[in-house]
Amino acid sequence: MATTKATPPLMVIDTKDDLFKKVFFGLIIAVGILLPILSIQTGINGDERFQVFIAKYIIPFYTSFGEDRRVFLTKDEVLPVYKQGGQELVTQQYNIDMVPQESNLMNYGGLFEFTSMAAAKLVGIHTDMDTGFFDVRHFLLGLFTAICLLFAGLIAKELLGWRAAVFTVAILLVSPSFIGQGMMNSKDIPFAMGYVIATYYIIRFLKAFPTPSWKNAIGVMLGMALALNVRVGALLLFFYFTMFCVLFWGYFQFIKKENGFTMANLGKAVAKALVAGVGGYFIGLLLWPYGLIDPLGNPLAVLKEQSEFPVFINQLFEGQVVSSKDLPSYYLTKFIYMTAPLTFLVGLLGGVIMLLLNRNKTNIGLWALLLFTALFPLAYLSYNNTNVYNGWRHILFVYPALVIVAAAGFEYVLRMWHKAMAKYVVGGLFVVLSLSSIIWMATNWAYQYVYFNPLVGGIKGAYGQYVTDYYMIGVKEASTWLLEQEKIGSAGRPIKVASDCVYPAQVYLTTKAENVALQYQRFHGRTNAEWDYAIFYSEYVNPYQLQNGLWPPDGTVYTVEAGGVPIVAVLKRTDMSDYQARQLLQVGKFAEAIPYFEKALSTQKKNEELYSGLGLCYLNVGKVKEGIEMVDYSLQLNPQHQEGVAIRNQINSMNNRK
C-alpha cells in the first residue's frame, strides 16, 4: 500500500481531535445558517445583469428542447437595452453560428442561473426585476460559500486533522474579500465551490491508492461537473486529476515499489478514473446550453477564446488608469497581498516554511497536488499576462487551497511547540492578526469585499490608487436613500435620474416608483444631460480627483461610504443652469451661455466641465485672458479632462504659430 496509509510524526492525531471536529461542524452549521441570511443585505452587483439574462432564458431553452435560443445572445446585444433602462430584452431568435464571439454570454455555464431561477419560481417570484429575485440569488450564494468553506476544511482535515480544518474555516471567515464576493458574485463563487469539492475528492481518491473507492470516484465526477457547469476553466481539474493519478501510480509502483500496485488494481483504478473523468465532463455540460449542443467542439473553442479574452477594461492600478491588457504580471498577486487578511499572509509564510522543513514527515504528494491547484492557474495567468481586471475575483477559486497552507502554518507551530502556553500564544496571535478584518466586516458588512489590509493603509490608503466598489454594490443604499429620504417615488411629477450604474438602479428605483425615469450617463459629461438626481460610483472618476478630495462633487446630497471613503455619490440639481449653459454652447450661442455658466459655478466650484465650457465661451467672445484662466483651472481640477485638454492644445498650437 502507499505510504499515505502511514502516520508520520507530524500527522499524529491530536488527543482533542474529536473536540475540534465538533467545533468545525458547529462553525459550518452556523455559517450555513447565517451567511445566506446576511447575504440578502448585499446589493445587486453590476455584472448580474448578464448572469440574470442567462437565468431568464436558460429554462425556456430546456422547456423548448433547444428551440428558444435567446440564451445565446451576446453582451453587446444585451447591454444597450440595459443602458436604456428597458425591462424587456430583445426576443429575436438567433443563429448562433452568425453571432460574433466577443463577450459571449453563451461561454458560461448556467448552473447557478438555472438554480436561482428555479428556486425563485418555487417561492412565487416569476420576474427578474423583482428585488426578491436577487434576495433568492444572494441567499443561494451564501449557501454556496458555506459549502465552499465546508470542503476547504475537509481538505485540511485529510492533510492535517480537524484542528487544521478549524483554522482553515476561521481564516476564510476573516477574509472580507472572499466572504464579500461570496455574498453576491454569482459567477466566481459557484466555480470556486465546484473547484474545491473536486479537489477534495481528488485528494481522497489519490490518498486511497492503489484501491480508490467508487464513492470518491463519484465525488470527483460530481465536483468536476459542478465546476464545468459554471466555467470552462474547470477543464483544468481534468488535467490535474489525470496527471496526478499517473504520477502517483508511477511513483509508488516503480520508485517506492509498494505492495498492492498490481495490474488488477491498476485496471480497477483506471476504470474508476475514467468514469469520474468522462462522467464529470458530460454531466458538466448538462446546464451549459452552448456546451451541450456541441459537447466536443464548443468547450474547446470557448477555452481558446477565454485564454485570449477580447474585452479590455480600464482599471485604476497604482494610481494610474491602465487598460486591463496592459496591467503588469504581478497584478493578481499584488491584489491578493493588499486585500487578504494579515492572518492569511502570516499563516501562508509560516505554512510554506513549515512544509519545507517537514517535507519528509508529511504526505508531500498530496500537498503537491493542493499547491499545484492553487499556484498553476496563478502562475499561468501572471506569466501569460492574461487579461484580468476587477482585483482578483477571477482567481477566487485558488484562495481556499492557499488558506489551507496558511492554516498549516498555525497547525505546525502547535505540533512542534509542546509548551502549555503554545495554544494561548498562537490563539492570541491569530486574533490580533485578524482584528482589522474582523472590525471591517462588523462595520462594513454590505461592502466588505472592498477591504484593504493595514499593509497598504486600509481602504483609505488604497483610495484613489486602486479600484474599490467596482461591482456597484453601493447603489442599493443610494437608491434606498432617494426613495426614503427624498421621496422621489411619491413626487407629483416625473423624476429623471441619471446614473452610470443603470442596472442596479433600475431594479431598486424604477420597479418601485413608476414616476422615475432612469437614463445612462457617465460621470464625466454629466452637465450635458438633463436630470433631477444622479447616482455615480467612484470607479470611473479620474484618480486625480479621488486623490485630492475633489470627489464627491458639488451638489452631492448623500454619500455611500465604506471604511470612511466615498464609493457612491447621490447628486441633486437645484436648477438647470449648467445644463442650459451646455445646450447654448453646443449651438454656438457663446455670449448667451456665459451667464448660465457663471450661475452654475456659484454652486459647483469643483466642476471642471463648467470651467472649460465657460473658458471656451470667453475665448469665442474675445475675452482671451479670462478664457485661458478658466481652461487652465479646469485642468487643475482634472488634468485629463478631455475638453480642457483639447482647448489648451488649440491655444498652444495658435501661440506656436505666432
| CATH number of the domain bearing residue 635 | 1.25.40.10
> Does residue 603 sit in the same domain as residue 532?
no
Q: Which of 90 and 371 is assigned the larger pLDDT?
A: 371
- According to DSSP, the β-strands at 565-572 and 533-537 are antiparallel
What percentage of the chain has pLDDT greater than the value 70?
91
Query: How many Å apart are CA 215 and CA 213, to the nearest integer?
Result: 5
Residue 87 included in any domain: no
Residues 117, 59: Cα–Cα separation, whole Å:
8
Neighbours of 13 (CB within 10 A): 12
Same domain for 400 and 254: yes
Boundary-marking domain end, from 572, 601, 623: 572
Residue 159 near residue 199 (C-beta atoms within 8 A):
no
Distances (CA, A) of 405 to 111, 398, 399, 632: 29, 11, 10, 54
Residue 129 near residue 44 (C-beta atoms within 8 A): no
| Cα three-residue angle 490-495-501, rounded to 5 degrees | 110
Q: Determine whether 247 is exposed, middle or buried from the number of CB atoms within 10 Å of its CB (0-12, 13-18, 19+).
A: middle
Quick one: how far is CA 446 from the chain centroid? Answer: 14
Range(s) of the domain holding residue 257:
3-42+138-440
d(Cα 315, Cα 317) in Å, to the nearest integer? 6
Please indicate, yes or no, if residue 462 is contained in any of the structural domains. Answer: no
Whole-angstrom Cα distance, residue 215 to residue 232? 25
How much is the pLDDT for 283? Answer: 97
Nearest CA-CA partner of 569 in 539, 609, 594:
539
Report the domain count for the chain.
Answer: 3
Residue 79: pLDDT over 70: no
Q: Is residue 78 part of a domain?
A: no
Residue 103 has pLDDT above 90, yes or no: no
- Comparing CA positions, the residue from 151, 188, 187, 186 lying closest to residue 172 is 151
Task: Decide if 307 is inside a domain.
Answer: yes
CB count in 10 Å sphere of residue 259? 10
Residue 377: is its pLDDT beyond 50? yes
- Residue corresponding to grid cell 504580471: 329
Residue range 7-24: mean pLDDT, rounded: 66
Report, as an integer, the average pLDDT of 378-398.
89
> Which cell goes with 310?
477580447
The H-or-E segment that residue 555 falls in is none
Tell me, yes or no, whether 209 and 311 share the same domain.
yes
Domain boundary among 440, 460, 489: 440
Contact 43, 473 (CB under 8 A): yes
State whether 303 and 342 are in the same domain: yes
Q: Is residue 599 part of a domain?
A: yes
Domain identity same for 603 and 562: no
Query: Does 384 share its domain with 299?
Result: yes
Q: Quick one: how many helices (H) and strands (E) in the chain?
A: 27, 7
Both 393 and 527 in a single domain?
A: no
Residue 314 lies in a domain: yes
Q: Judge if 595 and 537 occupy the same domain.
A: no
| Within-domain flag for 237 | yes
Q: What is the DSSP string of 122-186?
A: HTT---TTSHHHHHHHHHHHHHHHHHHHHHHHHHHHHHH-HHHHHHHHHHHHT-HHHHHHHTT-T
Highest mean pLDDT among 43-52, 451-460, 649-658: 451-460
CB 417 within 8 A of CB 429: no
Whether 113 is in a domain gets the answer no
Say yes or no: 298 and 414 in one domain: yes
Q: Are 627 and 616 in contact (CB under 8 A)?
A: yes
Examine the domain organization and report whether 393 and 248 are in the same domain.
yes
Residues 26 and 157 in one domain: yes
CA distances from 641 to 352, 498, 542, 601, 646 (A): 48, 20, 9, 17, 9
- The answer to whether residues 516 and 369 belong to one domain is no
Q: Return the percentage of the chain with pLDDT > 90, whole number.
A: 73
At residue 2 the predicted structure's pLDDT band, cuts being 50, 70 and 90, is very low
Q: Which of 440, 467, 489 finishes a domain? A: 440
| Residue 7 reports pLDDT greater than 60 | no
Task: Express each pLDDT in 610-651 by its tens digit.
Answer: 999 999 999 999 999 999 999 999 999 999 999 999 999 998
Residue 309 is predicted with a pLDDT of 63
For residue 13, the number of C-alpha atoms closer than 13 Å in the C-beta half-sphere is 11
Write down the pLDDT at residue 310: 61
**In angstroms, how far is CA 125 from the centroid of its own chain?**
26
556-562 and 516-520 strand pairing: unpaired
In order of 22, 107, 195, 204, the CA distances from 198 in angstroms are 24, 21, 5, 10
400: burial class by Cβ within 10 Å (0-12, 13-18, 19+)? Answer: buried
